[in-house]
Structures are given as C-alpha cells and as structure tokens.
Amino acid sequence: MYQFVFHVNFRTSHAMSRKILPFAHSLRCLRHFSTIGRENRRVVVTGVGCVSPVGVSVDTAWTNILSGQCGVVKLTDPAYEKLPSRVAAQIPREEFDLSKVFTKSELKSMSPAIVYSLVAAKEALTSSQWTPTEQEAQNRTGVSVGIGMVDFVDICEANDALRQGYNRVSPFFVPRILPNMAAGQISIKYGFRGPNHAVSTACATGAHAIGDGFRFIQRNEADVMVCGAGEASISPLAFAGFCRLRALSTAFNDDPQSASRPFDAKRDGFVMGEGAAILILEELEHAKSRNAPILGEILGYGCSGDASHLTSPREDGLGAFLAMQRALEDAQLLPEDISYINAHATSTPIGDAIECRAISRLFGDHASKLAVSSTKGAHGHLLGSAGNLEALFTLLACRDGQLPPTINLSSTSDDMKHLNFVANRSQSWPSVRRRIALKNAFGFGGTNACLCLAEFR
C-alpha cells in the first residue's frame, strides 16, 4: 500500500526523534504545497509524429500495430553475411525518400537519427498546430530530444577518411555524432528558445526525454516541449558489438518476422530497429487557450537505477519496480488505478522475465487484471528511440480504447501465465473508468524510466 508522506525509519533515541519529527513534518508540508503547484500545471499531449519500421506516419504506424503487421526484414547486404544475427526492423525505404525532404547539403550535416527526428517533429508540430512565430511563444517552447547511440557508420567513414589525410575528414563529422544535435537542429529550425535539452540514457533515452520535458512544463520553465528521440544504429559494427554481448536474436535469420517475440518461450534476443518519435507536450490551459487537439495526458514520471550490472537488470527486478512505483507516486495513484502496461520487454530471455517479476511484485493480486503488451514484436527494439515510440502507442491506446498486441507470442513460461499479454490480436480497452497506463523503458547501465499516461478527461 502506498503512503505519500515522509517516513522516519531510524532506530534512534527519544531525544533524537524530537529533532527528526519536525523535519519530517516540514517535508510533508513541502510535498503538499509542491503538489498543489503541480496540479495547476497539468501536462497534455497535443501532437505526435513518427518515422518507424511499421510506418512513416502516426496513422499508418498505429493501424499496422493494431493489425499485427511486422516491420522486421532479413539483411541482405554482404557485410552481414558472417554475423550471427541478420535481421532488423528497418524503415520502409519505398515510403521514405529523404532526397525529397532535404537537400544534399542538409543531409551532409546531419546523421540519419537527426533526420528522422526532424521529420517526426514536423509531423508532430503540424498535428499540434503549433509553429509559433511570436518571440514570447518561441521563448516558452523547448526541446527535449535525445539519441541513444552514436552513428558507427559516421565514425568508421571518418576514420577511413583520416587515413587518407586530415583534410578528408568532413567538417560536419562532430555535429553529426553529437547526441544533442537532434534537439539542436529542431530548436534552430523552429526558433524554439525554451529549454534545449538532450538525453542519452541507452534504451531509456526517449522515455527520459519525455519525462524531463514533462517536468520542465510542470515547473513552469516552458509551456510547450518537443520531446522524444531518434535512432539509426543498424550497421555491421553495431551488430557485431551486440552479437558479442549475445543480445541479438540469431535463431530466426530465415524467418525474420518471427524473430522479435517478447515474453514468448522461444525468445532468444532482441531485433534492432530504427526511427524516431516525437510528442508535443503542453500545459493544459495553454492548449485550451488556442483550441489545440488534446490526445491524452501525462500524469507522472519515475526514474531509478539498478546499481547492479553493465548490461543485465537485477534479477529481482528492483530497478523496474522502483521506476514504476515512483511514477505512480508522482501521479498520486494506486496500483489498482492502472489497467495497462506497455512493457519494455525486448525479447531477451532474462530481461522479459525480470520485468514480469517486477510487475507482479508491485501490483500483487491486481496483476492478473492488468493487460501487459510489448509492441517490439512488430517494430523491433529502436534502442534510444524505443521508449518514445512506445509511449506514443500507449497514448493512442488510452485515447482509442484499443490495446496493441504482443505478436509472435505462442507460449509463456509458468511464472508468466497469470498475465494478459494481449497475445497476437489487439483487445478492446473499455472506458469503465479513466484509461490509465504505464510505459516502461530500461537501458544498459541500469537506468530505468516509467511514464504514467492517460486518456484526457
């Protein structure tokens, strides 16, 4: 059971307790007044955009997710022939011609992850009807967009160029690989002079970026935040590195659409994906004042650290547990208020089981009443851009009352059978009460994020 007050949990003398208890009371008061302030700064989502393996627009991607379509393909480039994993979730090239969107000189100055972020940002800002030209509005609009990994192709090509001579290295090499340049390019393009923030926390990047943007608005540092992440890490070197970690799926090279299978008993590793997703976060009264479309609301945000291992989560799931617990506390909700969790579940044998363990521990008997799904079966694992793309789908699930399925799910181990994984087909999500969900995202280094999202009421 949750208690939202400061706990004094020290073995101490009566004299010491007399000193501690007034301090505890002051913290309760501070918590109370800070909560009042935050209630006056509700944060809603007014626009969304994406470039993904299941579609290069939000409408296409959402339709394909609900219908169980899969964007995983076999890699045919000879550079992958000798690698253990040869499948990836790629953006459909026939639907996405960059030369029609950017000039050659623009493409020289930006990595693919930056390009994807700009395209997604344009769709999101257009759907939000927010492209201000007035200085004050631009001053109150910020950007929180990250990139999880440096583009290894850029580094390899720059190294090859250096061997031919210093002057052969592109002057855009450094701007192309800096993780904050997606945020920088968006800020420059639209003149946004609010917080210019970049996150790079491995596979939790996009979720952290949204959560940080949420807090900027709560704390009145901005009225509008452009939030999300981009990722373009599909390359032979990246594949070799992840294969050496034994993180990628290797058993389905000849059946790529079956390779990403969260929670399934035959899961053997994740499938790398690419793309970007952007959410426009906005203070509620600001959105109402301009009659902006409101797609949903962000209620809370929680972070934690595993403090355990470079690449593996704690076996007891404590990090995931704490992130979800803190998101609920931030939203001032009880576990029973949640009816759906969009899981991080990447299709790895260890990670999926640990996340289920954390969910069961936090939600107790209520876990059997939850719907839990992972859309990574359809679009693979977008690394730094996973949490934001999946937050987008979670938001649309809250809005539309449709739960996205976990595809490629045939059977689960005994310790997972009590959970409803929305196997293979979408399910209706009735609005008996307000639809509220959690979105989990975890990264190497033991970094964890959880967002609490809801339909707008």
Please list the active-site residues.
Answer: 203, 344, 381
CA 289 centroid distance within chain: 29
**Widest distance between CA atoms in the chain:** 75
DSSP assignment string, 68-101? T---EEE--SGGGTTSS--EEE---GGG--GGGT
Looking at residue 156, its amino acid is C
Residues 409 and 394: their CA atoms lie apart, in Å, by 19
Nearest to 45 by CA among 224, 300, 236: 224
Task: Give the C-alpha separation, 447 to 441, whole Å.
Answer: 9
φ, ψ dihedrals at 324, nearest 5°? -65, -45
CA distance 391 to 375: 11
- The three-point CA angle 96-52-126 to 5° equals 75
Structure tokens at 355: 């996340």
As a whole number of Å, the CA-based R_g of the chain is 22
CA distance 126 to 135: 19
